[in-house]
């Protein structure tokens, strides 16, 4: 049982409001100091959380950003799909930078594995879609979740026993090779070779394995607090995003319950993270997208290249209907706005406030990607502030027009802003002390 209401209140989900890359890595790093545990609940090495600590840049794909804070425990929940090679590359990079991972990492024994055939499957599936590609990160994420849903997946617990792992792997591959042979006349892989090359690396996971749901619940029972770190963003959520141009997991806040194994009543707050503008990687509708030079300028100023794939991100303006949809879906307690400084140069800043279709205003965020592709976005032009906000730490230092811009977003999305990020470093952060949620929560400005 929770010892007090406040303990329950403090367990918080941090979720992307847009199509990912909102800057959650930095925000988790800033907030992690005030929680005991940081837990990832979905996705895999398709995520790329960039964190800058003392001028040193870390790109974390699987391990929650909380690992960079001494003494904090990082948990990879059952909802994550895990690629052992990616995991150990990351562990080694963090340890090379002088941060010990050691016994601060716990991995769910129920989380599913990514095997080499998942990446092969994904390449074939994307190629088969022709012009209709999803534009995935090619990390094998979708096929691993497919195997999970069709009950032929291999889980981390299977690594505890060589015989069980071998049997399950052979069985899965037999089925896959049959399909592959029927479609292309070729098999995907030889089971013995695959097991030999995969096993020794993957086995290294075993010492980190625990029943993380049980661990998290026990820790919360004794008053420890958890920050649940979402990857990707709400608009990439498998159920609620711009399907089929989505990722294959539950990126919205609800995913924290199934993906970490905690009941909804344990979560006290959901914080949404959004850029001051919008980006998207991969295919799919993007109603406020900017083409040409305007996009180029945002991309260059914002360094908008995929942290995982290096792909240039598509860029556009802040999208109110999309943010409102996300906010409602996640029932946001507060909003965090990142990368405000990227807009510093603009004389005017368009904000998408409404979608129209055939001359009518849409009152709902459409279910069909085809409809969202066709909407015309109506913009409100807001005056730019044309002075640097980079690195500011105090709301009073922000130009009035920047404050007006933030207030407009907050009013339109109907959520208070709790924090503004003005640069990649931990300290380049403005805490909004007047935000009601900030006053009520135990979170405190550092």
What is the contact surface with ligand IMP in residues (CB under 6 A)?
19-21, 46-48, 134-137, 139, 141-142, 231-232, 236, 245, 247-248, 281-282
Degrees to nearest 5, angle at CA 276 with 274 and 277: 95
Cis peptide before 244 (omega within 30 of 0): yes
**Minimum distance, C-beta of residue 44 to ligand IMP, in the bound complex (Å):** 8
Choose between 258 and 412: whose C-beta lies nearer to ligand IMP: 258
121 is annotated as an active-site residue = no
Phi and psi dihedrals of 403, rounded to 5? -65, -40
Choose between 286 and 365: whose C-beta lies nearer to ligand IMP: 286
Choose between 231 and 430: whose C-beta lies nearer to ligand IMP: 231
Whether 213 and 261 have beta carbons less than 8 Å apart is answered as yes
**Minimum distance, C-beta of residue 230 to ligand IMP, in the bound complex (Å):** 10
The greatest distance separating any two alpha carbons of the chain, rounded to the nearest whole angstrom, comes to 67
**Minimum distance, C-beta of residue 246 to ligand IMP, in the bound complex (Å):** 6
Choose between 73 and 281: whose C-beta lies nearer to ligand IMP: 281
Whether 273 and 28 have beta carbons less than 8 Å apart is answered as no
**Minimum distance, C-beta of residue 395 to ligand IMP, in the bound complex (Å):** 29
Q: Which residue is nearest to ligand IMP (CB)?
A: 282
Choose between 241 and 268: whose C-beta lies nearer to ligand IMP: 241
Q: Is 268 helix (H, G, I), strand (E, B) or coil?
A: coil
Choose between 258 and 309: whose C-beta lies nearer to ligand IMP: 309
Whether 325 and 413 have beta carbons less than 8 Å apart is answered as no
7, 29, 36, 49: the catalytic one is 49
**Minimum distance, C-beta of residue 283 to ligand IMP, in the bound complex (Å):** 6
Whether 167 and 192 have beta carbons less than 8 Å apart is answered as no
21 is annotated as an active-site residue = yes
21, 29, 109, 147: the catalytic one is 21
Q: Is 377 helix (H, G, I), strand (E, B) or coil?
A: strand
CA atoms within 13 A on the CB side of 234: 26
The DSSP output letter for 22 is: S
**Minimum distance, C-beta of residue 239 to ligand IMP, in the bound complex (Å):** 14
Determine the number of helices (DSSP H) and then strands (DSSP E) in the chain.
14, 20
Rg of the chain's alpha carbons, rounded to an integer?
A: 22
Whether 322 and 240 have beta carbons less than 8 Å apart is answered as no
Catalytic residue ranges? 21, 49
């Amino acid at each position: 049982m929770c010892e007090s209401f406040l303990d329950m209140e403090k367990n918080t989900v941090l979720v992307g409001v847009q199509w990912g890359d909102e800057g959650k890595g930095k925000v988790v790093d800033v907030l992690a100091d005030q929680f005991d545990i940081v837990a990832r609940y979905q996705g895999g090495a398709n995520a790329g959380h960039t964190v800058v600590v003392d001028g040193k840049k870390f790109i974390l794909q699987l391990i929650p950003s909380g690992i960079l804070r001494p003494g904090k425990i990082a948990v990879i929940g059952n909802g994550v799909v895990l690629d052992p090679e990616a995991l150990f590359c990351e562990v080694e990079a963090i340890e090379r930078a002088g941060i010990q991972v050691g016994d601060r990492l716990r991995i769910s024994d129920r989380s599913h594995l990514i095997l080499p055939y998942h990446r092969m499957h994904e390449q074939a599936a994307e190629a088969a879609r022709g012009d209709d590609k999803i534009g995935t990160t090619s990390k094998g994420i979708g096929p691993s979740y497919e195997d999970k849903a069709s009950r032929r997946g291999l889980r981390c617990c299977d690594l505890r026993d060589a015989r069980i792992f071998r049997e399950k792997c052979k069985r899965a591959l037999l089925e896959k090779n049959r399909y592959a042979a029927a479609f292309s006349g070729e098999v995907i892989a030889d089971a013995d070779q695959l097991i030999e090359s995969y096993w020794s690396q993957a086995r290294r996971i075993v010492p980190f394995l625990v029943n993380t749901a049980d661990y998290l619940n026990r820790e919360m029972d004794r008053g420890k607090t958890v920050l649940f770190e979402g990857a990707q963003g709400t608009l990439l959520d498998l159920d609620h995003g711009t399907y089929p141009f989505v990722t294959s997991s539950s990126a919205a806040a609800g995913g924290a319950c199934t993906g970490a194994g905690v009941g909804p009543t344990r979560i006290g707050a959901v914080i949404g993270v959004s850029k001051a503008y919008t980006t998207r990687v991969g295919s799919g509708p993007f109603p406020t997208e900017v083409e040409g030079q305007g996009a180029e300028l945002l991309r260059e100023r914002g360094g908008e290249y995929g942290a995982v794939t290096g792909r240039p991100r598509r860029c556009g303006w802040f999208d109110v209907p999309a943010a409102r949809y996300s906010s409602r879906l996640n029932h946001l307690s507060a909003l965090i706005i990142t990368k405000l400084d990227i807009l510093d140069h603009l004389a005017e800043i368009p904000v998408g406030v409404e979608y129209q279709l055939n001359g009518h205003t849409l009152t709902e965020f459409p279910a069909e990607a085809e409809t969202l592709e066709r909407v015309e976005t109506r913009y409100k032009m807001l005056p730019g502030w044309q002075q640097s906000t980079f690195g500011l730490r105090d709301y009073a230092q922000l130009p009035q027009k920047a404050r007006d811009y933030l207030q407009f977003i907050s009013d339109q999305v109907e959520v208070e802003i709790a924090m503004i990020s003005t640069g990649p470093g931990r300290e380049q952060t403005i805490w909004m002390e007047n935000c009601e949620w900030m006053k009520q929560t135990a979170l405190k400005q550092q």
